[in-house]
Structure 1
């Protein structure tokens, strides 16, 4: 897909996802103003499963607030009746929407007999990311397609950020990723690319390290998972 068209499509899908989650305009305006004081960018606001609270999806993860924006709640909230972590349950559909909006910008390793698709925030300089990559045949043989998304751990000013742009802009992005994961140099190439957007997306999910695996359910698993263990979780629908 043309890189410029990809960027426009992604922005359109994200805007659509945000529109579905958005709370009444009055609440949204108050919350955005209050959260701005904390240097947090509000991506979407929705009614919380808890009466009197809103859930706020930001550039740094999920938070909760009173409807007037006065009270800010950071941390995990548990539903003791249903035995679930509310943060996780509410983030899953949001993550699914946002990942869907980025699917044209991933680097994909497709299973011949595909049963499941996972998205993985990766950094080619990360040891466990390389371990996962070296076992790509195991994932694919288990019917798991792996889609890489960029998350340079050093941030947007790092050498890895530049390297990942070269990877995504390469004519053979998979080949470039393979080389980078082996510790080899990647030929410089620049274009309009999704690396910055994907990194910021990962931050909005609460990702702080790599690999970070996103299951089809929207569940986010921090860290490496061997193919057999991951397959068990996928089969269980977790």
Structure 2
């Protein structure tokens, strides 16, 4: 009798494991099916799909930003999810913040940096060399640096990859002295044509992926974003508030 009971326990345990594995396999297959369905319907590359904070929804990361979908892929939502029990924490923004910071690591060696001598803070800014407020921000670079703020530029040609601005920004990134080329371009000077294996197009695509739709777009050290120009003192105050 004891042997039979032990045998039943072993079989039951095996069936439980098998059931779990089949369930997990089914979930993976379902997500793959939803991913394929969405990619075909939206003509967008999906880099990741997984469970959303809200039961019944999946979180979908695409080349055009973060979306949510029903578990069957029938409905697509572009929304913000807030956690009421956590003081209205913006769960969607937290997910985007993590993605911004992890994505920035890929471009750490491809930014044009203006380093503060006594660095206290580092901000990454998506910029366009023809943007008026980008030029205003750049004209105050010494003031940002004096406050201990290091600025790292990423390229975001607003006209897209077929624009003259894109071509000029590639030339700036490929220049022998990118800082000097950036200074000249932001001052409205003629950009000398240069070509190299730059990541301007990749930075532009990454900007679109994390929701950049204008410049300047400032990514803070915690992954949050300040869209638009910020005067030096105002940016310093914002940095102090999160660090």
TM-score, normalization by structure 2: 0.84
Q: Quick one: higher RCO (CA 8 Å, sep 6+), 1 or 2?
A: 1
- Of residues 27, 33, 36, the one that matches 1:33 is 36
- 1:154 & 1:145 partners in 2: Cα distance? 27
Any idea what the Cα deviations from partners look like across 1:200-236, whole Å, max 9, x if unmatched? Answer: 0000011111000000111121111111111111111
Q: Is the 8 A contact 1:139 1:145 kept in 2?
A: yes
Q: Which residue of 2 aligns with 1:14?
A: none
Secondary structure of 2:182's aligned partner: helix
CA displacement at 1:27 relative to structure 2: 4.5
Q: Which residue of 2 aligns with 1:81?
A: 85
TM-score, normalization by structure 1: 0.86
1:49 and 2:53 matched: yes
Which runs of structure 1 show a deviation greater than 6 angstroms over 4 or more consecutive aligned residues?
none
What does residue range 177-188 of structure 1 map to in structure 2 within 5 Å?
A: 177-188=182-193
What does residue range 106-185 of structure 1 map to in structure 2 within 5 Å?
A: 106-185=111-190
Any idea what the Cα deviations from partners look like across 1:177-216, whole Å, max 9, x if unmatched? Answer: 0000000011111011000000000000111110000001
More helix by share: 2
- 1:26 & 1:115 partners in 2: Cα distance? 47
- 2:238 & 2:102 partners in 1: Cα distance? 21
Judge which range, 84-93 or 42-51, deviates more.
Answer: 42-51
- 2:28 & 2:235 partners in 1: Cα distance? 41
Judge which range, 104-113 or 228-237, deviates more.
Answer: 228-237
Q: Is the 8 A contact 1:34 1:70 kept in 2?
A: no
Judge which range, 122-131 or 87-96, deviates more.
Answer: 87-96
Q: Is the 8 A contact 2:45 2:62 kept in 1?
A: yes
1:58 and 2:62 matched: yes
Larger Rg: 2
1:191 and 2:196 matched: yes
Q: Is the 8 A contact 2:131 2:215 kept in 1?
A: yes
For structure 1, the residue ranges without an aligned partner over 5 or more in a row are 1-23
Q: Which residue of 1 aligns with 2:75?
A: 71
- 1:46 & 1:91 partners in 2: Cα distance? 14
How large is the Cα RMSD of the aligned pairs? Answer: 1.5
- 1:163 & 1:112 partners in 2: Cα distance? 29
